[in-house]
Amino acid sequence: MTTATTRHSDRRISPVFLGIVAVTAVTGWATWTGFAEEPGIAVFLFVTGAWIVSLCLHEYAHARTALHSGDITIGAKGYLTLNPLKYTHALLSIVLPVIFVIMGGIGLPGGAVFIERDRIRGRWRHSLISAAGPLTNVLFALACTAPFWLHSLDGVPREFSAALAFLALLQVSAAILNFLPVPGLDGYGVIEPWLSHGVKRQIEPFAPFGLLFVFALLWVPQVNAVFFDLVDAVLRGLGVSEIDASYGWSLYRFWS
């Protein structure tokens, strides 16, 4: 029997995603070589492109894990093509995260893929589906910071290393936020299958406001300071200095 997930077109990588990867690669090369006359513009395009790529991979990880856990409708929805335009909430998953990066240098998590949870059996599978997205951010952060903790940046233009540092900051902040056990975030999705029915019913009315609550808290200076202290501590552990990340942030906001 042929299902939606067996069609090759459901798994073909989208030209939209390939275009974003191409922009990221070209602007990364321009930053690396110093080819760009305005390094800030190149850094902006490079980091934004890489950030969108990571968002696509985040959602792909959710979808692919759900597919192997029993939701065979994933392919027909276009989630395996890495096309951000196929997401259920493109605004929440792409546009708002980019705006938050521009405004505050925060890696905003977003929910995008609709998973038919009733097709999936087993609490561990449900938890793994939720964890797959932020774990992708963790892997992306490790990839961005590898040149730092491997001490392989000698001779590399500072603009490029600073761009990598800022991109790593976004990945670390996204992973931390996503793993918070707050309704609407992946961290809650990890623990939700293990909660009693009564507890889930009590939490359910507040679920749509969980993400708004988190970001409202981040506007509180004391909370914001604690959050970024944690992000900086993780980055330092991965060999990235606060100076590099801050310089990358200032290059990114080339217009200011």
Q: Which of 34-38, 46-50, 63-67 has the lowest mean pLDDT?
A: 34-38
Rounded-to-integer distance, Cα 193 and Cα 175, Å? 20
Phi, psi of 187, rounded to the nearest 5 degrees: -60, -40
Query: pLDDT (tens digit, 9 = 90+) per residue, 79-127?
Result: 999 988 887 666 666 677 777 787 777 887 666 788 999 999 999 999 9
pLDDT at 86: 83
Contact 221, 227 (CB under 8 A): no
Is 4 a residue whose pLDDT tops 70?
no
- Whether the CB-CB separation of 147 and 161 falls below 8 Å is answered with yes
Decide if pLDDT at 188 tops 80: yes
Give the span between the Cα atoms of 125 and 10, in whole angstroms. Answer: 23
Residue 3, pLDDT score: 44
d(CA 232, CA 176): 12
Residue 5 has a pLDDT of 42
pLDDT of residue 100: 77
The predicted structure's pLDDT at residue 88: 62
Q: Which of 138-142, 190-194, 212-216 is predicted least confidently?
A: 212-216
Give the mean pLDDT of 168-184.
93
Q: Report yes or no on whether pTM surpasses 0.85.
A: yes
CA dihedral 71, 72, 73, 78 (to 10 degrees): 110
Q: Is the pLDDT higher at 212 or at 40? A: 40
Catalytic residues, by residue number, are 59
For residue 178, is pLDDT > 60?
yes
The span from the CA of 53 to the CA of 62, in Å, is: 15
Of residues 49, 60, 106, 50, the one with CA closest to residue 83: 60
Annotate the chain with DSSP letters as a single string: ---GGG-GGGTSPPHHHHHHHHHHHHHHHHHHHT--SSHHHHHHHHHHHHHHHHHHHHHHHHHHHHHHHT-TTTGGGTGGGT-GGGSTTHIIIIIHHHHHHHHH------------GGG---HHHHHHHHHHHHHHHHHHHHHHHHHHHTT--TTS-HHHHHHHHHHHHHHHHHHHHHTS--TTSHHHHHHGGGS-HHHHHHHGGGGGGHHHHHHHHHTSHHHHHHHHHHHHHHHHHTT--HHHHHHHHHHHSTT-
Per the model's pLDDT, the better-predicted residue between 226 and 3 turns out to be 226
- Judged against a pLDDT cut of 60, whether residue 2 lies above it is answered with no
Q: Worst-scoring range by mean pLDDT, 12-26, 78-92, 166-180?
A: 78-92
